[in-house]
Amino acid sequence: MLKQDIVGTWELKKVVGYPFNQQPLPPGNGRIIVLEKNGLFERKQHDTVTFRGSYSLRTKKDCHERNSDIIFVTTESSSGDYQYIQILDGELLLSTPNCYQDGATAVFRRLK
């Protein structure tokens, strides 16, 4: 179910967490990710593709309890980095693991 819900084009709305706590970015800021049904992933700056690869969803228990134990992994990072992913109130959230001292959550608004 989550894989169907995340498919689409998303624009960064804000980043929450130390040391970020950004004010919301305006619509049209162009910091975009595209998640396709077939597992393809793109990161764009406006119309320019800055990364193209694939993504997968897996389950992984975090070091502290959280609402979702589904992780988002892309071929963008070869070091095994991952983020926890969820849809909350129509927004896409990508969060670092709870055990990271200076973690953050990127909040994306749906464009398509």
Angle at 25 between CA 62 and CA 11, to 5 degrees: 65
CB contact at 8 A, 22 and 108: no
Residue 93: how many other CB atoms lie within 10 Å: 20
pLDDT at 29: 96
Report pTM.
Answer: 0.88
CB contact at 8 A, 78 and 86: no
Residue 95: how many other CB atoms lie within 10 Å: 23
Task: Write the pLDDT tens digit of every residue in 84-109.
Answer: 899 999 999 999 887 766 778 999 99
Which domains, ranges and CATH numbers included, belong to the chain? 2-110 (2.40.128)
